[in-house]
């Protein structure tokens, strides 16, 4: 006999399928919270109140030994931040059957009518806010939060204002599936006033959804050098995949840029380095070479966003796509797609005599490849290793969050 783990919503027995309703009805032992058990007042079997999971394990084992039919009633999807994970640590999977209901996150997104396949799901129920802090720092576009009485909606909003460089709308979704269901939207510009209010109060049964709002960009108000990372349109599934501001600043200095140059940005990604060069040197022409269609789209969006006309996106794989480009004065390689050696072989034939190449390298193996190539070809070179940490809020405190270390290899022909 298996344990049937049945997910249920706030609409109670009405929201169950005929099959799951029958499983609970025929069970000799049903287990659940006071609220869940109250959905089955006429159940004739034994009822076990679930307050401490560890405490009821012996009773579950004894019921299994007696070959009783057992139904455990839980909220939503048992395997989504639910009791299912704990049950699997105590009982073999052969003894468990899961019957999920719609999860609270599914219901929340359906009610606010926003697709959620790209959302990051975070539980702060009985946990700290470190994962949320990191997601906010990365600028994740959609975040769904399972809350608790400590990390309630206003506490989340307060943390949002302290710990996020980005603007987010808040949706507070209460009592999902119940007759007292309520959705409350707090616009990004209203978060401070919401924090200061004491009304309305919110049900403890809530999910908080954060939706990032892109701040309108006024290019004239941006710094000439060192554009904040959050200004750029980024990969939605990998928002951290870009050359960070601190790294960009050093690269621009090492390239020793001059006005009116031809610059290649190979493996341009979002085009962040190209954008910095284009703004710093409006008379230069920058070719942003990128092998992914999404990357090219982001480069075009960032050019439009920052009103730049001296960047030319080039869609294709280096080195083959480089053949038709004009001779370069400066080359930055931010990504090689595994073709570093062949890219360098080609670049040396198209770089002017007084040119400079700068390469951002994330692995020791690629540092070795680049260093070996420059030694064999008798170029002047130097290495810079960058290990940078940024301060992030942890509640009312502050700690350092390290960025991935990067080695910058800078070289020029002798």
pLDDT per residue as tens digits for the range 159-175? 988 778 788 999 999 99
CATH number (domain holding residue 255): 3.40.50.150
- List b or e across 64-84, with b for residues whose CB sees 16 or more CB atoms inside 10 angstroms: beeebbbbbbbbbbbbbbbbb
Same domain? For 47 and 120 the reply is: no
Which tokens sit at 171?
């949706």
Eight-state DSSP code of residue 219: G
Cβ 172 vs Cβ 202: under 8 Å = yes
Write down the pLDDT at residue 137. Answer: 82
Give me the residue label for tokens 């260093």.
Answer: 371
Cβ(386)–Cβ(402) below 8 Å:
no
The side-by-side arrangement of strands in the sheet containing 406-413 is: 311-315, 285-290, 262-266, 328-333, 351-361, 406-413, 379-386
CATH, residue 91: 3.40.1010.10
Give the rounded percent of residues in the chain with a pLDDT score beyond 70. 99
Do 207 and 230 lie in one domain? The reply is no
For the residues 108-118, what does the mean pLDDT come to?
93
Band of residue 124 on the pLDDT scale cut at 50, 70, 90: very high
186 and 307, same structural domain? no
Query: Which structural domain, as residue segments, surrounds residue 69?
Result: 3-102
pLDDT tens by residue, 299-358: 999 999 999 999 999 999 999 999 999 999 999 999 999 999 999 999 999 999 999 999
pLDDT band at 132; cut points 50, 70, 90: very high
Q: Are residues 52 and 138 in the same domain?
A: no
What is the three-class DSSP state of 290?
Answer: strand
Tell me, yes or no, whether 120 and 47 share the same domain: no
Looking at the structure, do residues 265 and 196 belong to the same domain, yes or no?
no
Is the same domain home to 191 and 121?
A: yes
Structure-token pair, residue 200 = 């309305």
* One domain, residues 228 and 334: yes
Please report the pLDDT score of residue 200 as a whole number. 80
- Lowest average pLDDT, out of 222-231, 294-303, 338-347, goes to 222-231
In angstroms, the CA 411 to CA 44 distance is 81
Tell me, yes or no, whether 114 and 254 share the same domain. Answer: no
Decide: 69 and 51 in contact? Cβ < 8 Å: no
Structure confidence at residue 75 (pLDDT): 92
Same domain, 339 and 408: yes
Closest CA to 49 of 64, 29, 67: 29
Over residues 65-94, mean pLDDT: 93
Q: Which of 173, 193, 213 is the last residue of a domain?
A: 213
Same domain, 168 and 182: yes
Closest of 75, 23, 69, 65 to residue 46, by C-alpha? 69
Q: Is the pLDDT of residue 111 over 90?
A: yes
The answer to whether residues 403 and 388 touch, using CB atoms and an 8 Å cutoff, is: yes
Q: How far apart, in whole angstroms, are the C-alpha atoms of residue 264 and residue 273?
A: 10
Quick one: which of 61, 63, 29 has its CA closest to 45?
Answer: 29
Kindly tell me if the per-residue pLDDT of 208 is higher than 80: yes
The last residue of a domain, from among 74, 102, 130: 102
Could you tell me the CATH number of the domain that includes residue 182? 3.30.950.10
Q: What does the pLDDT read at residue 239?
A: 64
pLDDT computed for residue 397 by the predictor: 83
Please say whether the beta carbons of 408 and 358 come within 8 A. Answer: yes
Supply the pLDDT for residue 235: 79
Q: How does pLDDT run across 49-69, given as a tens digit for each residue?
A: 999 999 999 999 999 999 999
**167 phi, psi to nearest 5 deg:** -95, 135
Residue 178 makes CB contacts below 8 A (sequence gap 6+) with: 10, 11, 205
pLDDT of 113 reads 93
E-state strands within 58-110:
70-75, 96-99
pLDDT of residue 236: 66
Express the helix, strand and coil content of the chain in percent, nearest 5 each.
35, 30, 35
Lowest mean pLDDT among 6-20, 207-221, 314-328: 207-221
Place of tokens 């493996």: 267
Tens of pLDDT, residue by residue over 242-262, are 899 999 999 999 999 999 999
| CA 240, 267, 371, 244 torsion-angle sign | negative
Q: Taking a C-beta distance cutoff of 8 angstroms, is the pair 5, 99 a contact?
A: yes
Q: How many domains does the chain have?
A: 3
Mean pLDDT value of segment 188-204: 87
Instruction: Say if residues 5 and 76 touch (Cβ distance below 8 Å).
Output: no
Domain final residue pick, 43, 78, 102: 102
Mean pLDDT of the residues in the chain:
93
Q: Which token pair is 246?
A: 């601190």
Does 85 lie in the same domain as 137?
Answer: no
| CA distances, 214 to each of 184, 186, 193 (Å) | 21, 16, 20
CA distance linking residue 392 with residue 129, whole number of Å: 12
Cβ 251 vs Cβ 229: under 8 Å:
no
């Amino acid at each position: 006999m298996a344990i049937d783990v049945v997910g249920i919503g706030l609409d109670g027995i009405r929201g169950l399928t005929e099959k799951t309703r029958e499983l609970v009805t025929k069970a000799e032992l049903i287990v659940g919270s006071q609220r869940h058990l109250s959905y089955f007042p006429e159940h004739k079997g034994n009822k076990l109140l679930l307050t401490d999971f560890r405490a009821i394990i012996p009773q579950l084992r004894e019921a299994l030994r007696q070959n009783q039919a057992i139904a455990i009633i839980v909220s939503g999807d048992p395997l989504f931040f639910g009791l299912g994970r704990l049950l699997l640590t105590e009982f073999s999977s052969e003894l468990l059957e899961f019957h999920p209901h719609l999860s609270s996150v599914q219901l929340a997104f359906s009610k606010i009518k926003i697709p959620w396949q790209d959302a990051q799901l975070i539980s702060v129920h009985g946990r700290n806010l470190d994962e949320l802090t990191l997601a906010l720092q990365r600028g994740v576009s959609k975040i769904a939060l399972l809350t608790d009485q400590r990390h309630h909606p206003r506490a989340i909003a307060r943390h949002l204002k302290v710990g996020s460089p980005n603007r987010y709308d808040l949706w507070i979704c209460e009592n999902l599936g119940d007759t007292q269901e309520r959705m409350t939207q707090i616009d990004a510009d209203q978060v401070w006033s919401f924090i200061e209010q004491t009304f309305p109060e919110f049900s403890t049964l809530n999910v908080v959804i954060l939706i990032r709002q892109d701040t309108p960009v006024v290019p004239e108000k941006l710094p000439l050098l060192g554009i904040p990372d959050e200004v750029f349109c980024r990969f939605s599934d990998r928002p951290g995949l870009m050359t960070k501001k601190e790294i960009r600043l050093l690269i621009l200095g090492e390239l020793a840029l001059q006005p009116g140059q031809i610059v290649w940005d190979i493996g341009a990604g979002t085009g962040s380095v190209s954008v910095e060069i284009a703004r710093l040197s409006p008379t230069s022409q920058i070719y942003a070479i990128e092998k992914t269609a999404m990357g090219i789209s982001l480069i075009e969006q960032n050019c439009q966003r920052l009103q730049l006309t001296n960047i030319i996106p080039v869609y294709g794989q280096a080195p083959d796509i480089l053949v038709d480009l004009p001779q370069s004065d400066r080359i930055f390689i931010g990504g090689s797609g595994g073709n570093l050696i062949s890219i360098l072989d080609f670049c040396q034939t198209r770089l002017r005599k007084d040119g400079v190449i700068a390469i951002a390298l994330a692995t020791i193996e690629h540092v070795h490849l680049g260093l070996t190539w420059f030694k064999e070809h008798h170029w002047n070179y130097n290495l810079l290793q960058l290990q940078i940490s940024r301060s992030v809020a942890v509640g009312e405190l502050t700690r350092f969050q390290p960025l991935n270390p990067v080695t910058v290899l800078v070289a020029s022909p002798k």
